[in-house]
Chains A and B, each alone.
Chain A
Amino acid sequence: MTETRYIKAINEALHEEMARDENVVVIGEDVGAPGGAFGGTRGLLQAFGDKRVKDTPISESAIVGLALGAAMKGLRPVVEVMFADFLPVCMDQIVNQIAKTRFMFGGQFTAPLVIRAPGGAGLNAGPQHSQSLEAWFAHIPGLKVVMPATPADAKGLLKSAIRDDDPVLVLEHKALYASSGEVPVGEHLVPIGKAEIRRFGKDVTIVTASRMVHHALEAAETLAGQGTDVEVIDLRSLTPLDKETILVSVEKTSRLVIAHEAVKSFGIGAEISAMVAEEMIDGLDAPIVRVGAPFSPVPFSQEKDYLPNAADIVRAAEKVVNF
């Protein structure tokens, strides 16, 4: 184990995968000499040359379309989209083309590409650079969506995504880029579709992902002080969703809180809540409560007031425990 920053872990994953497989290429705005908007592609140009590290014009739709063609011809492109907020610019390529390739060609072509994009708020980047749009993509069959919360998962999930034969959207969190954590030395793969239990507890299950994992763990500490034993599940992957880990945990605790940074309405919390209600409502001893952002764009000012935090999770857990 070695202490590594989240962005550095991503950079290591790219170096390792490009060294391992010459078909891995990196495409995006400023991914060459500048090393990416946040430093994720630093050193790749020097190490692997400009044939495999392509700086592009500012046209997300063209970048992603290029990656799809390259993937269909046998390369394994890793696209960097500077902000997840720009994914809507290339929505046709992602939703109508990339996600459909394997299905529409009857498996004769696959689209083994990765799109990396930082989402989330916390850096006062304003309404157009701070959104959490994961639910849009999790709703599209044919895409895999992962959201690492730790440097180790950022590295391990990205490496697994690159090796996956299906298109994978890696939604990084820009406010986590500077965070550090232990990352296993050497080859480290995190399976896609497998959640991680970050804290074991018996009274209430908190299902969460990405940056909210850290708020949930902070909330769990507070709740432990009140005698409430919280289990925190870090989803890591949204699609495929690790239903089993959620259901087993809720069977144990009989109470469920889902916390995400995205707007609460129509978010992934709604999906998980519905899934649990459909599959094991008789395991529930309290209503399912969601924690999410208000139904409003992320504000530039007062961002802190807008974002759901540990105190919100504590209140939600108290509500279900005291129901």
Chain B
Amino acid sequence: MSSAIVMPKVGLTMTEGKIVEWRKSVGDRIEPGDIVFVFETEKVSFDVEATQTGVVSKIIIAEGETVPVGTEVALLDGAGGAAEAAPDKSSAPEPAAPQPAATARTPAGSVTASSKTRATPLARRIAKSNGIDIAQVTASSGPIKKRDVESYLSGLAAQPAARSASMTVPPSEIAGGRLVKLSSMREIIARKMVASTTEAAQAYMIVTVDAGNLVEARGRLIPSIEKQTGVRPTLTDLIAKIVAVAIGRHPVMNTRWTRDGIVWLDAIHMGIATALDDGLVVPVIENIGDKKLSEIAVQRRDLIDMARNGRLPPERMKGSTFSISSLGMFGVEEFSAIINQPESAILAVGAIIDTPVAREGAVVVRPMMKLTLTYDHRIIDGAKAAAFVASLKDVVEEPLLALA
């Protein structure tokens, strides 16, 4: 009996995968556990393991092609029983789905009754509303039922965060307290944060800057921008603009690490970490280098309003190339942020605090601010980061340099 191997779905958001390498060729015999092919999604790559025995009779999708989840990518001959392939987690930073994610189907033309997936109408409805193929779900007994789909879904949802975030203690072993199920936002935060700390070589650099001119510049800009747009520019708006100017002078800060090399990005899209009541989002001001401060202020205000109302479209949180996070409004003097993957650096902005400092041999009180850069040492060496920080300090202390 011949059967097909399909592009598996790994994680709730995966819609397509690109085949980057076939490890088996036509005529090769495969055994359960063999790596059949490697595919990658936007974020990571996976090895797909065979879970059955057979001979590859045809490779349908060639290396380099991207196909939707569920597409048949190869045919097997002599496959016994259900032919399945499962992505192997070993090379995947994002863990594989708990269930066999690629389910082979009998190719068109030889459909038999036994190939039909038996599932209750309710199970089908739940699968459909969650965008999963019912054939991916394994029945605990008899036909696939609601509980099977739910356990499949909770496996998909909980596993990446739970495993990568090392939450290995079952909640039942913790005395006292209450269990709050993971929201999808919390899962994404957990996954991204842990992935960032395990994937990137994060190093830190702190600089103290005199924010006197910055505060004064903001004070002078407020009346005209507010009159023009109705929005008061915040210190974060000014810093975002200044950071973009500094990045323009140190483009290594605007890069992305990939398997094949470092991508030097053309445009600067600034992510602004924004706290919500129950989480964190990073709305993006795209092409910030080309934008006036008034435009930045309006867009930042609109994005944050949308985020706080839960109406920020996902595409407005994607594509940032550098991020800043500010906790100055809480009086935090300094802190370090985790790089917002797949960026190469993030700047943490502390509070402006009146501090006695030495100036020309005398002690004076100045509004000082601490900036902490977290950078990915895989791409950015210490001296390069220091040069960026020095430029940043120059422009913060003399915002007029932004015009220079």
Count chain A residues whose beta carbon lies closer than 8 angstroms to a beta carbon of B.
8
Q: 8 Å CB contacts to B: which residues of A260-290? A: 281-286
**A254-B122, A323-B120, A323-B145 provided; 16 other pairs, C-beta below 8 A?**
A254-B146, A281-B121, A282-B121, A282-B122, A282-B124, A282-B125, A283-B121, A283-B122, A285-B122, A285-B123, A285-B145, A285-B146, A286-B120, A286-B145, A323-B142, A323-B143
Write the residues of chain B forming the contact surface with A, with a CB cutoff of 8 angstroms.
120-125, 142-143, 145-146
Main secondary structure of the interface of A (DSSP, over half): loop
Q: Is the CB of A284 within 8 A of B142?
A: no
Q: How far is the CA of A281 from the CA of B119 in the complex (A)?
A: 12
Q: Give the one of B120, B123, B124, B146 with max A CB within 10 A.
A: B120
Closest to B125 in A: A282
How far is the CB of B69 from the nearest CB of chain A, in Å? Answer: 23
Measured CA separation A254–B145 after assembly (Å): 10
How far does the alpha carbon of A323 sit from the alpha carbon of B140 in the complex, in Å?
A: 10
The docked-state distance in angstroms from the alpha carbon of A65 to that of B139 is: 60
Contacts of B121 in A (CB 8 A): 281-285
Q: From residue A60, how far is it (CB to closest CB) to chain B in Å?
A: 46
A-B contact pairs, 11 of them (CB 8 A): A281-B121, A282-B121, A282-B125, A283-B122, A284-B120, A284-B121, A285-B120, A285-B123, A323-B120, A323-B142, A323-B145
A281 to B123, CA, bound (A): 11
- A173 and B125 CA atoms in complex are apart in Å by 41
| Complex-state Cα separation, A283 to B146, whole angstroms | 10
- Give the distance in Å from the alpha carbon of A283 to the alpha carbon of B125 in the complex: 8
B252 to chain A, nearest CB (A): 55
Residues A284 and B145 in contact, CB atoms below 8 Å apart = no
Contacts of A323 in B (CB 8 A): 120, 142-143, 145
Residues of A with C-beta under 8 A to B122: 254, 282-285
Q: Which residues of B contact A286 (CB under 8 A)?
A: 120, 145
Task: Return the chain A residue nearest B148 by Cβ.
Answer: A285
Question: Which of A284, A285, A323 neighbours the largest number of chain B CB atoms within 10 Å of its CB?
Answer: A285
Chain B min CB distance to A64 (Å): 44
Q: Which residue of B lies closest to A251 (CB)?
A: B122
| A250 CB to nearest B CB, Å | 10
A320 to chain B, nearest CB (A): 11
Contacts of A283 in B (CB 8 A): 121-122, 125
Q: State the CA gap A153–B189 with chains docked (Å).
A: 57
A285 to B118, CA, bound (A): 12
Which B residues lie within 8 Å of A282 (CB)? 121-122, 124-125
B120 nearest CB neighbor, chain A only: A285
State in angstroms the CA–CA spacing of A281 and B145 once bound together. 13
* CA of A254 to CA of B122, assembled, Å: 7
